[in-house]
Amino acid sequence: MNIIDLIIKKRDNNELSTEDINFFIESVCRNAVPDYQISAMLMAMCINSLSKRETADLTRAMTSSGGIMELDEIEGFKADKHSTGGVSDSTTLIVAPLCASLGLPIIKMSGRGLGHTGGTLDKLEAIPGFNVHISKEKAIEQAKKHGIVIMSQSDELAPADKYLYAVRDVTGTVDSMPLIASSIMSKKLACGSDGIVLDIKCGRGAFMKDLDSAEELANEMIGLGRSLGKKMSALITNMDEPLGMNIGNSLEVIEAIEVLKGNSRGALRDVSIAIGSEMLVMGGIAKDSAEASDMLKRNIRNNKGLYKFAELISLQGGNPAVIDNYSLFPQRVSKSAVISEKDGYISEIDALCIGRAAAATGAGRQKKDAAIDYGAGIMLKKRTGDKVTKGEILARIFAENSEMCAEAAEIIKSGIKISDEKSAEKPLIYKVIR
């Protein structure tokens, strides 16, 4: 079998066999295929898509490219969650400790920034000393004793996806429903959890731009999970504007901490509560969403979720003092602001533009191995529907130098629209699929 023949086969919109897909993934894992041929295959898959059978075969091949984490020795229902990627989406940093503080074991394998979206691992690594590189053995032991682990993909778990994920990020092949579904589900299946709650982002700042495609992706992943014995559900959530107010690694961790302290309300908190509620009901901790929501809110008020996050930081080598001392996070001296040029109402904050602006500050990566600036980013001061006056600050920018600030400011300006009248409010959660 020849990789060039397979590229041509998919380029010409022919269906790859199970053997073809297995050969491709095995070749990737053996480093027998150069980047440019992997890129060509991914582009052919992206343009011509994959059938349901091809997607299932790709998912199985990537899952079995490494070991499977066996979690039988951890008592109780093991839950996981995954977001398809958005802007200012730090829900994992809120949901994981809150659910763990209520007795639901969380073993979460997360990823890095992809395209214009942020990555949970990058955010956690903004915490001084935090180690995301946890072995399977240590992860299981930590979960047994403390009920929470957030880790990177080790070489042992879905290694094929780890490599393809990085290549997709820099080759324009992120936006593909089958590739997104197989990437997410291979990681989730390798992690061995009993059930998975999916957060499918929908809108300008998401890979799925409309509700129909978001629902299609949700059903694709739910089907993949159920076919392999996993409990599955999905929320389709709004990503027309950033979920939180902070965009950038340190800034997003700080905002998540503020939610756990009970100091921050809004879309980020609300979506986190909704995801956590699904997980608690799925895991049998709560009888329904209303009870689960009350439990989560209670553990915000009594700080048990915050304490669990501090415990996670300490367990994985980080400095838990960041909880109360934000100056310990990386800081940026160069700052600027975007000012409103007119009176009116915010009618649009384009999440894609804001994500690109954050990347321009250095908070995101342009190449797969590029370093990121943990202190860089954007703080939004307004949300869609808010009233503004001329001269009011719409956003603050943090970057290494004034040139980067200026570039980010221009992108932000193009993404914020101000109208004379207040626009109709869009739902935050479009649909829940169980």
| Mean pLDDT to the nearest integer, 298-316 | 98
Nearest to 348 by CA among 308, 314, 394: 394
* Number of domains composing the chain: 3
Please check whether residue 376 is in contact with residue 363, taking contact to mean a CB–CB distance below 8 angstroms. yes
Tell the residue number behind the tokens 């756990």, with chain if given: 260
Are 129 and 164 found together in one domain?
yes
Does 283 share its domain with 356? Answer: no
List, for residues 129-164, the tens digit of each pLDDT value.
999 999 888 999 999 999 999 998 777 778 999 889
Which pLDDT band, with edges at 50, 70 and 90, does 247 fall under?
Answer: very high
Lowest-pLDDT range of 202-206, 225-229, 270-274, 408-412: 225-229
Least confident stretch, 152-156, 239-243, 314-318 = 152-156
pLDDT at residue number 297: 98
Query: Can you give the pLDDT at residue 364?
Result: 85
Percent of the chain predicted with pLDDT > 70: 98
Question: Average pLDDT of 21-46?
Answer: 96
Q: Which residues are catalytic?
A: 82, 161, 168, 183, 187
Residues 148 and 265 in one domain: yes
Statement to judge: residues 282 and 375 lie in one domain: no
CB 132 within 8 A of CB 106: no
pLDDT, position 377? 96
Beta-carbon-side half-sphere exposure of residue 367 (alpha carbons within 13 Å): 3
Residue 37 sits in the same domain as residue 87: no
pLDDT at residue 346, as a whole number: 98
Burial (0-12, 13-18, 19+ Cβ within 10 Å), 276: buried
What confidence score (pLDDT) does residue 112 get? 80
Handedness of CA 242, 243, 246, 248 (dihedral sign): negative
What residues make up the domain containing 412? 330-419
Q: List all residues 6 or more positions away from 273 whose beta carbon is below 8 Å from its beta carbon.
A: 293, 296, 297
Quick check: 114 pLDDT over 70?
A: no
Domain CATH for 250: 3.40.1030.10
- Give every CB contact of residue 169 below 8 A, 6+ residues apart in sequence: 113, 114, 115, 365, 368
105: left (phi over 0), alpha (psi -120 to 50) or beta: beta
Residues 335 and 262 in one domain: no
Higher pLDDT: 41 or 152? It is: 41
Going by pLDDT thresholds of 50, 70 and 90, the confidence category of residue 109 is confident
Q: For residues 22 and 174, which has the higher predicted lDDT (pLDDT)?
A: 22
What is the per-residue pLDDT for 366?
64
Nearest to 381 by CA among 363, 367, 395, 360: 395
Specify if 70 maps to a domain: no
- Describe the crossing of helices 304-315 and 91-101 by its angle, rounded to 10 degrees: 110
258 in Cβ contact with 238 (< 8 Å):
no
* pLDDT score, position 117: 67
**CATH number of the domain within which 405 lies:** 3.90.1170.30
Q: Are 59 and 224 in contact (CB under 8 A)?
A: yes
pLDDT (mean) for 271-291: 97
Hey, which residues does 148 pair with through a beta bridge? 106
Do 311 and 334 fall within a single domain?
A: no
- Encode pLDDT of 279-288 as tens digits: 999 999 999 9
The strand ranges marked E within 5-144 are: 79-83, 106-109
Q: Which two tokens stand for residue 367?
A: 């190449």
Give the mean model confidence (pLDDT) for residues 172-184. Answer: 87
CATH number of residue 28's parent domain: 1.20.970.10
Report, as an integer, the average pLDDT of 305-310: 98
| CA-based nearest residue to 150, from 129, 121, 126 | 121
Q: Are residues 113 and 18 in the same domain?
A: no
| 356-378: b (≥16 Cβ within 10 Å) or e | bbbbbbbbbbeeeeeebbbbbbb
Distance CA 278, CA 434 (A): 9
Same domain, 311 and 272: yes
Domain boundary among 292, 323, 354: 323
Of 380, 292, 303, 394, residue with least CA distance to 343: 394
pLDDT of residue 371: 82
Mean pLDDT over residues 315-341, rounded? 96
Check whether residue 316 and residue 338 sit in a common domain.
no
| Nearest CA among 241, 219, 245 for reference residue 427 | 241
Tell me if 197 is assigned to some domain: yes
pLDDT at 122: 93
Across all residues in the chain, what is the average pLDDT? 93
User: Is residue 173 domain-shared with residue 251, that is, in the same domain?
Assistant: yes
Beta partners for 416? 349
Instruction: Give the mean model confidence (pLDDT) for residues 238-250.
Output: 97
Provide the sign of the torsion angle of the four alpha carbons 16, 19, 20, 25, taken in this order. positive
Contacts of 324 (CB under 8 A, 6+ apart): none
Could you tell me if residue 69 is inside a domain?
no
**Cα 292 to Cα 284: distance, rounded to the nearest angstrom:** 10
Q: What is the pLDDT of residues 347-379, one digit of tens each?
A: 999 999 999 999 999 998 766 567 899 999 999
pLDDT at 195: 93
Q: Which residue has the higher pLDDT, 227 or 246?
A: 246
User: According to the model, what pLDDT value does residue 250 have?
Assistant: 96
